[in-house]
Amino acid sequence: MLKSTKKLNKIYLDYASATPMDVNVLKVLTKALKENFANASAIHDMAVKNKKVLDNARKDVARFFDAHSNEIFFTSGSTESNNIVIQNFKNIVTTNIEHASVLEPARLVNTTFVGVETDGIVDPKKIKKALTLETELVSVMCANNEIGTIQPIKEIVKEIRHFNKTNNTKILFHTDATQAVNYLDLNVERLGIDLMSFNAGKIYGPKGIGALYVRRRTPIKKIIFGGDQENGMRAGTENLPAILAFVEALKITEKIKDKEVKRLKKLQEYFIKKLKTLDKNIILNGDIENRLPNNINITIPKIPSDLLVIELSARGVMVSAKSACKSGDEKASHVIQAIRESEQGGSLLNKEVDGSIRFSMGRETTKQDIDYTLKSLSQILSKLKKWYT
């Protein structure tokens, strides 16, 4: 493991935004940048060799998800994978807590946004209720990037299949698995997934590389035009060094997954227990059981999220208030808004959902890090309470 965040003398609790690169992944990437630079689409010897390397990498990625290699398409990441999927359909059912790369393109077509429950989990029966004879696609993320809630994918697929059988429809199921690869079993056969987005940047690999799984005979058209790369699905020279690093990152993830899940679960339980004693007003956002083992998302009423993030950062603790790509805007988190709305049965003002922060742990997180974070949070709360109560 690359001890990057420790070397920086920071406590990094923002792994859901970005993971540091594993040292072995970095080795693979560096070697490949030197040796595998030739364009895999050319016809000379070095290119042909790289084409073989690329084909093998695709096979490796497919194996992790019990897919076939011709069902894997490399992209620039989950944003692109999600866009390819969503832009292919005109009538969609999704949830109101998806990542912006699903929500934004979905808003351009006829989409039903099913609200999640107060625990941040969507009810499969509500998905079923939203299906019509015109529905073409259901897109529900495996695990939420802000509150870590794990969605009942198998049950949702069951409802879709039942609807398809009864109504002779062919509704497909897509999942954004970006946050799930580190921790969950993502066997596309067992889960009945037709389309799946994931990336390397969240699994200790490089950013800017990801993939889309497309089940055989699923009618998906390209959205980026140019060369014939990726079997005509996605134009642009393949980033082979990054792809090889992606494969290495997947291999490591697979190897240490079970152990990491257990270790992080213990840390998560400890963190939550201590948070409860810190301040009785702290609210834990999202279901406590069906949740990624690295995620803790809390609301401290009346204290602006950004202020908490900045105060923690000043003490060397790196956290986020919401999805990193939305951190700059003024609006409250759409995910926290969604769970509070379902709690209160209506829309809320920004200030009512303020005070939420996400701690996302990872491979380098230790109990000492959590203790220091809790101590810092306690200091911040006693400082800010004077102003906000």
Q: Which residues form the catalytic set?
A: 325
**362 interacts with ligand PLP by CB under 6 A:** no
Among 19, 111, 175, 178, binds ligand PLP (CB under 6 A): 178
Listed ranges 2-10, 89-97, 152-160, 171-179: which one lies at the site for ligand PLP (CB under 6 A): 171-179
CA distance linking residue 372 with residue 376, whole number of Å: 6
If phi > 0 it is left, if psi is from -120 to 50 it is alpha, else beta; for residue 111 that is beta
Q: List CB contacts of 45: < 8 A, sequence separation 6 or more.
A: none
Q: How far is the CB of 153 from ligand PLP (least distance, A)?
A: 14
Among 176, 194, 230, 369, binds ligand PLP (CB under 6 A): 176
Q: How far is the CB of 18 from ligand PLP (least distance, A)?
A: 8
**99 interacts with ligand PLP by CB under 6 A:** yes
**199 interacts with ligand PLP by CB under 6 A:** yes
Please state, in angstroms and as integers, the Cα–Cα distance from residue 136 to each residue in 82, 87, 90, 102, following that order: 15, 12, 7, 15
**79 interacts with ligand PLP by CB under 6 A:** yes
**179 interacts with ligand PLP by CB under 6 A:** yes
Among 19, 36, 145, 294, binds ligand PLP (CB under 6 A): 145
Contact 322, 335 (CB under 8 A): yes
Q: Which is nearer to ligand PLP, 101 or 229 (CB)?
A: 101
Listed ranges 43-51, 54-62, 113-121, 173-181: which one lies at the site for ligand PLP (CB under 6 A): 173-181
Task: Please tell me the count of residues contacting ligand PLP according to CB under 6 A.
Answer: 13
Burial classification of residue 219, based on how many CB atoms lie within 10 Å of its CB (0-12 exposed, 13-18 middle, 19 or more buried): exposed
Q: How far is the CB of 201 from ligand PLP (least distance, A)?
A: 5
Among 20, 120, 148, 201, binds ligand PLP (CB under 6 A): 201
Burial 250-265 (b: 16+ CB within 10 A, else e): bbbbeebeeebbebbe
CA distance linking residue 153 with residue 156, whole number of Å: 5
**95 interacts with ligand PLP by CB under 6 A:** no
Q: List CB contacts of 375: < 8 A, sequence separation 6 or more.
A: none
- What residues are paired with 112 via a beta bridge? 93
**60 interacts with ligand PLP by CB under 6 A:** no
- Structure tokens belonging to residue 246: 């992606």
The separation between the first and the last C-alpha atoms of the chain, rounded to the nearest angstrom, is 43
Q: Which is nearer to ligand PLP, 176 or 248 (CB)?
A: 176
Q: How far is the CB of 15 from ligand PLP (least distance, A)?
A: 11
Among 5, 78, 111, 365, binds ligand PLP (CB under 6 A): 78
Q: Where are any strands of DSSP class E within 13-136? A: 72-75, 91-95, 110-114
Q: How far is the CB of 388 from ligand PLP (least distance, A)?
A: 29
SS3 state at 200:
coil
- What residues are paired with 210 via a beta bridge? 75, 199
Among 62, 141, 172, 338, binds ligand PLP (CB under 6 A): 141
Among 20, 148, 210, 304, binds ligand PLP (CB under 6 A): 210
Of 100, 98, 164, the closest CA to residue 133 belongs to 164
Q: How far is the CB of 116 from ligand PLP (least distance, A)?
A: 14
Sheet holding 137-139, edge to edge: 72-75, 210-214, 195-199, 172-176, 137-139, 91-95, 110-114
**295 interacts with ligand PLP by CB under 6 A:** no
**268 interacts with ligand PLP by CB under 6 A:** no
Burial classification of residue 346, based on how many CB atoms lie within 10 Å of its CB (0-12 exposed, 13-18 middle, 19 or more buried): exposed
Residues making contact with ligand PLP (CB under 6 A): 77-79, 99, 101, 141, 145, 176, 178-179, 199, 201, 210
